[in-house]
Amino acid sequence: MTSLSYCDIFSINLDREYEEEIFAGDMVRMGQNLYPHFEVVAVRGDKVWVRDLETNADHIALTSRCRKINGAPVEIHGATAD
């Protein structure tokens, strides 16, 4: 049985539209969400093991959904935030 996330159920696309390398130790967020922040524990192929910095809960996610916190600018309502 495959576990479904809210993204799968509601067909929400969190994938990045630009290339970015994600490494263990990076601080990331998922999709367009500004929070929560995660620390990357390990990367293997297209999957990443992340730890929520607030709750310390561990999760497995697709690498393509991760965005470095200090990476590319975030676009909010048509404006670019730095």
Instruction: Kindly state whether residue 10 falls inside one of the protein's structural domains.
Output: yes
Looking at residue 3, its pLDDT comes to: 62
Instruction: Kindly state whether residue 56 falls inside one of the protein's structural domains.
Output: yes
Expressed as residue numbers, the domain containing 36 is 6-81
Name the pTM for this structure.
Answer: 0.68
What percentage of the chain's residues is helix, strand, coil (to nearest 5)? 10, 40, 55
**Which of 82, 65, 75, 80 is CA-nearest to residue 20?**
65
Question: Phi/psi at 33 (nearest 5 deg)?
Answer: -65, 135
Total structural domains in the chain?
A: 1
Strand partners, 50: 40, 59
Instruction: Kindly state whether residue 14 falls inside one of the protein's structural domains.
Output: yes
Average pLDDT over residues 10-20: 72
Instruction: Kindly state whether residue 1 falls inside one of the protein's structural domains.
Output: no
Report how far residue 75's alpha carbon sits from residue 58's, in angstroms, rounded to the nearest whole number. Answer: 27
> 57-75: per-residue pLDDT in tens?
999 988 988 989 875 444 5
The CATH number that applies at residue 23 is: 2.30.30
